[in-house]
Chain A
Amino acid sequence: MAGLAPNKRLWVKAVFTGYRRSLHTQHEDIALMKLEGVESRQETRFYMGKRCAYVYKGRKMIKRRNSDKKTRLRVIWGKVVKAHGKSGAVRARFKRNLPPRAMGRRIRVMLYPSNI
């Protein structure tokens, strides 16, 4: 096992599939997400209220609040709000609406606030 980076993933993989929408109109305030391994509405119960993050890279190196290091990584935080449909999709609300280029991209669903 020497040489391998220790696995640190404490979040569930999800994909931003699109905004809440009807056929011709979309509402960008709510994002729809597909969580990995969640295939039914009952299974989404665990994820209700869990915080989620869209992590992306910007162009400029910027300083984060509590550290001196500059980084390109940026985050938009949100939380899972309710289930969406029968097959395990989920609705999330982000602090700022997700940019459309995030569609199809990775969203991290954290394990907190935990209830287990």
Chain B
Amino acid sequence: MCGILFGTCLSSSLHGLLLNIMEDETTKRKKPRSRQRWLTGGIPMFSRSVMYRRTAKYLKKKPIVKKEKKAVERFVVKEVGGEKNGGTRKVPLQKQPRYYPTQEGRRKLKGHRKPFSEHKRRLRPSITPGTVLILLAGVNRGRRVIFLKQLGTGLLLVTGPMKVNGIPMRRVNQRYVIATSTKLDISSVKIPGKLDDAYFKRKKLRTGKRSKNIFDDKKETYEVSDERRADQKSLDAQIIPLVKKEHLLAKYLQNPFSLRTRQYPHKMIF
């Protein structure tokens, strides 16, 4: 009983307001406000009938237009020859199918599984171009690098820059990285399109190749290509001036991160 009174009280006071709103229908409201209120547990405060009144749905009623059903012609009367044939036949316009399959057609498997190349790539909102990241694993663990962009496979393209802390442009997995709140504005940096996953893909070195004389076998080690050096240089040439502009950023990038006594990551803001 109380609930109904409460509802009606509110709606009557809102009614005038609502009429004003209806008059202003030509001006678009930027944000549609819901007249519903939610209580803890996701329970709506106002019932459907109360909402009907609160949202003034009685003003928004559209007259129901009944669709006129077209009379479907199902038969056609056709003339038939022959003396004792009755002269006409009723021929159905839509013929019954000639064949009913005994089994349902093979159901197409719902292709939920997508190949890796079609996977959705997600990027943590804390990671934006120019963010300083802390690498957590690998050869460069603890080092701070600048995030450039996310590549097609989802890996992050990062660079030291090389001259600053000796870390070349590299791919890194999001999960092995902490994004700090330090961000550098690299909107003016143009990252060449050729720096993609194919560019950084590991080349297989044939170690353990057998030859006639094992002593002649050289262990093939990875060597940095000239193309890589040149690309690194041109990319860093864009970034280093931006780093130098920021006070102490170069020093920050040079110093590796580590946990000290009484430093607990769950209590830290990076």
A and B are partners in one complex rather than unrelated chains: yes
Q: Which of A12, A47, A116 makes the CB contact (< 8 A) with B178?
A: A116
Given contacts A9-B258, A116-B270, is CB(A36)–CB(B124) below 8 Å? no
A37 contacts B262, C-beta separation under 8 Å: yes
**Total A-B residue contacts, Cβ distance less than 8 Å:** 59
Q: Type the 1/0 row for A75-110, where 1 means its CB is closer than 8 Å to any CB of B.
A: 000000000000000000000000000000000001
Mark the stretch among B34-42, B89-97, B105-113, B134-142 that contacts chain A. B134-142
B260: A residues at CB distance < 8 A: 7, 9
How many of chain B's residues have a CB under 8 angstroms from any CB in A?
Answer: 23
* Cα A20 to Cα B262 with chains together (Å): 28
- Bound Cα distance from A48 to B49, whole angstroms: 45
Cα-based distance from A115 to B266 in the complex (angstroms): 11
B177 and chain A: residue at smallest CB distance? A114
The interface residues of chain A lying within 8 Å CB-to-CB of B200 are: none
Are B178 and A38 neighbours in the complex by a CB distance under 8 Å?
no
Chain B residues within an 8 Å CB radius of A7? 258-260
Cross-chain contact A111 with B258 (CB below 8 angstroms):
no
Residue of A nearest to B268 (CB): A116
Which of A10, A47, A114, A115 is the one whose CB lies under 8 Å from B141?
A: A10
Complex contacts, A115 vs chain B, CB 8 Å: 124
CA A99 to CA B66, docked complex, whole Å: 78
How many whole Å from A78's CB to the nearest CB in chain B? 16
* A113 CB-CB contact with B under 8 Å: yes
**Which residue of chain B is the closest to A11 with respect to CB atoms?**
B259
Complex: A43 Cα to B178 Cα, angstroms:
18
Within 8 A of A (CB), among B214-259: 256-259
Q: Distance in Å from the Cβ of B11 to the closest Cβ of chain A?
A: 42
